[in-house]
Structure 1
Amino acid sequence: MNRTARLYALVEELRAAAPRPRTVAALATRFEVSTRTMQRDLQTLMETGVPVRSLPGRGGGWSIDPEATLPPIHLTPDEASALTAALAAADTSTPYADAARTAAQKIVASMAGPASAAARQLAAQIVSLPAHGDSAIRTAVEQALADDLVLRLSYTDAAGHESNRVVEPAGLLTAGGRWYLIAWCRTRRAGRGFRVDRIAAAAPTGERARLRDLSELLVGSAGADAVPPAALAALTPPS
């Protein structure tokens, strides 16, 4: 059994035993590996966000929260390839790129058979030029959107003019491979789009932002006809 398959099987082993813990020795015996290898596998699961934990003392061991883990995912080879291609586009300048990477690791660990083979084959055939995104800026934008916080920006527009803005984020627009933060600009007292790769600095202020309607802020702009991506339809609440 290769390591990826073993990690997937290890999650399922812990899910089946939950809430009872399993010792490292018992798991090592079950998967016919050394205790050191098993300890490393469990650490890898923790680092990728799988909710495993170690319980010390007599009767302790490793356990998992079954409600916070993925059951086996049965994808077709085409579906696995589609996910691989989509994740490949999530470079360092893409919002939520770090979360996309850990999500991909969880999905890959849950796949087996033809779907896993198709994903790995396509992954070996995709390359990209490194992007030069600022992770601190991206993180600040993500935090402001997730927590509804007012954001302080230093921004350079298309003409090279620099300005400082205080904005109330409403959402993200993607177009032509670029990402734009759509927000109510307190300086201009109107909705504005800020290309994420032109944001020179960003910091949440801690102040709660007023909830703004994304579609209303786009009225009259080049993004007025924007619609939710079809791939996100299943996640979008009905209006």
Structure 2
Amino acid sequence: MDRSAARTLRLLTLLQSHRQWPGGELARRLGVTTRSLRRQIDGLRELGYEIESTPGSGGGYRLVAGNRMPPLLLTDEEAVAVAVGLRIAATTGIADAESTTLSALAKFEQVLPSAVRERVNAIGRSVEPQTPRGGPVSSELLGSLALACRDHERVRFDYTDAHGAETHRLVDPHSLVSADRKWFLVAWDLNRDDWRTFRVDRVSRVVGTRVRAEARVLPAEDAAEFVAVAAGSVPTRHTASAVLEMPLDEMRSHFGPWAQDARAVDEARTSWPFGGDSFPLLTTVLVWIPEGVAYELDADEEYLLFLREQAARMLQAAETSLALLRSPERKAGKTEPGAGGHDSG
């Protein structure tokens, strides 16, 4: 590579690494005059890079988004990340992702140095992406929703639920989440006046309204947690309700988004529905009820009998273990010098 080409690539690297560079600083780092710098800037522009220049003592150069895809300059680490990402993207459930990403990967790996290509292949053999569930999602649809989330633009779309019923939605989009091998849109549904999650493979005909979405606080630590909670509210094989001796506001404050389906029984009590695909899974919810809070259960007799049997077994195991722990023999064994120890000599 001749010195001029090397300086041009060095210039591109600098422009990509900093938001804006003063012209004098760029020329100094490249070891050229400001006139030579301008020629190199023009050369990058001919390659398709949009570079803004600002005149004056406080001016400089800035790399901006253009109208067409210019060549990329990546470090070895960035190249590995992109190549591995393309391999994983082929199994994300995006329509035509396998053909488009593998085509892009073939072009990309063709120019990779051999050492970098070996790293990519080694990682690719070790990574096993999960097979997507649900229907395919077009990259155009995913891109439209992603832009709406980024720009906080209210959108309309058609949505088909799990039973095949189609509805028309007007939402303020918040985030896109990849979870459970599916894509979800987290949004505020204006017609239902509440937060909702939408499977993107069931969304169609997205139309922007050019109306800025209202700023709202998501009732979860992040969008991924909100999707997890929503997935937990999907109908399950077994359901029950715990009636807690807690006011609704206090209960919601304690459980956060996990209390979204809770309802007030009266001023002092709250009904909290929960579910699971097995009785043991159903029971795990109960251990999260705060210590000292009394509660009753509204559930099928079969589950209540299971719960009574399990509670009796756990109580018996705890009593037996406590008796052994408090026995004179156990206490004596703990105080005798050298009893039960290991010989470190």
Normalised to the residue count of structure 2, the TM-score between the two structures is: 0.39
User: Aligned partners of 1:184 and 1:137: how far apart in 2?
Assistant: 19
> Is residue 138 from structure 1 mapped to residue 142 from structure 2 by the alignment?
yes
**1:140–1:21 Cα change, 3 Å:** same
User: Please, which runs of 5 or more residues in structure 1 have no aligned partner?
Assistant: 2-7, 28-41, 54-63, 226-239
User: Aligned partners of 1:156 and 1:136: how far apart in 2?
Assistant: 18
Match of 2:213 in 1: 209
User: Cα offset for 1:140?
Assistant: 2.4
- Secondary structure of the residue aligned to 2:38 is coil
User: Cα offset for 1:137?
Assistant: 2.7
> Is residue 171 from structure 1 mapped to residue 172 from structure 2 by the alignment?
no
User: Cα offset for 1:14?
Assistant: 5.5
Number of positions where the alignment pairs a residue of Structure 1 with one of Structure 2: 183
User: Aligned partners of 1:88 and 1:169: how far apart in 2?
Assistant: 26
Match of 1:75 in 2: 77
Within the candidate set 26, 37, 54, 1:19 is matched to 37
**1:14–1:87 Cα change, 3 Å:** farther
User: Cα offset for 1:188?
Assistant: 1.2
Normalised to the residue count of structure 1, the TM-score between the two structures is: 0.53
Match of 2:162 in 1: 158
User: Cα offset for 1:78?
Assistant: 7.7
Instruction: For residues 196-230 of structure 1, give each alpha carbon's deviation from its aligned partner in whole angstroms, at most 9, with x where no partner exists.
Output: 110021111100001233453738523668xxxxx
**1:167–1:73 Cα change, 3 Å:** same
Kindly indicate whether the alpha-carbon contact (under 8 Å) linking 2:155 and 2:208 is maintained by their aligned counterparts in 1. yes
**1:132–1:222 Cα change, 3 Å:** closer
- Secondary structure of the residue aligned to 1:20 is helix
Kindly indicate whether the alpha-carbon contact (under 8 Å) linking 2:159 and 2:202 is maintained by their aligned counterparts in 1. yes
Kindly indicate whether the alpha-carbon contact (under 8 Å) linking 1:81 and 1:122 is maintained by their aligned counterparts in 2. no
User: Cα offset for 1:65?
Assistant: 5.9
User: Aligned partners of 2:186 and 2:194: how far apart in 1?
Assistant: 11
Alignment of 1:53-202 (within 5 A): 73-75=75-77, 82-89=84-91, 92-93=94-95, 112-119=113-120, 132-202=136-206
User: Cα offset for 1:195?
Assistant: 0.5
> Is residue 222 from structure 1 mapped to residue 231 from structure 2 by the alignment?
yes
User: Please, which runs of 5 or more residues in structure 2 have no aligned partner?
Assistant: 13-29, 52-60, 66-70, 233-256, 259-345
Max Rg structure: 2
User: Cα offset for 1:91?
Assistant: 5.8
User: Cα offset for 1:70?
Assistant: 7.3
User: Cα offset for 1:123?
Assistant: 7.2
**1:107–1:91 Cα change, 3 Å:** farther
**1:75–1:139 Cα change, 3 Å:** closer
**1:107–1:148 Cα change, 3 Å:** farther
Aligned-partner residue type, residue 12 of structure 1: L
Overall identity of the aligned pairs, in %: 24
**1:67–1:154 Cα change, 3 Å:** closer
Instruction: For residues 79-116 of structure 1, give each alpha carbon's deviation from its aligned partner in whole angstroms, at most 9, with x where no partner exists.
Output: 67644533434564499xx9x99x98998699634123
User: Cα offset for 1:176?
Assistant: 1.9
User: Aligned partners of 2:82 and 2:107: how far apart in 1?
Assistant: 13
User: Cα offset for 1:20?
Assistant: 3.4
Kindly indicate whether the alpha-carbon contact (under 8 Å) linking 1:184 and 1:192 is maintained by their aligned counterparts in 2. yes
User: Aligned partners of 2:122 and 2:6: how far apart in 1?
Assistant: 21
User: Aligned partners of 1:82 and 1:199: how far apart in 2?
Assistant: 29
Aligned-partner residue type, residue 167 of structure 1: V
Kindly indicate whether the alpha-carbon contact (under 8 Å) linking 1:182 and 1:193 is maintained by their aligned counterparts in 2. yes
Aligned-partner residue type, residue 140 of structure 1: S
User: Cα offset for 1:170?
Assistant: 1.0
Instruction: For residues 126-184 of structure 1, give each alpha carbon's deviation from its aligned partner in whole angstroms, at most 9, with x where no partner exists.
Output: 9x99x843444333212211110001011001111100010011112211211000001
**1:109–1:150 Cα change, 3 Å:** farther
User: Cα offset for 1:77?
Assistant: 9.8
**1:104–1:186 Cα change, 3 Å:** farther
Kindly indicate whether the alpha-carbon contact (under 8 Å) linking 1:80 and 1:116 is maintained by their aligned counterparts in 2. no
User: Aligned partners of 2:105 and 2:6: how far apart in 1?
Assistant: 17
Aligned-partner residue type, residue 115 of structure 1: V
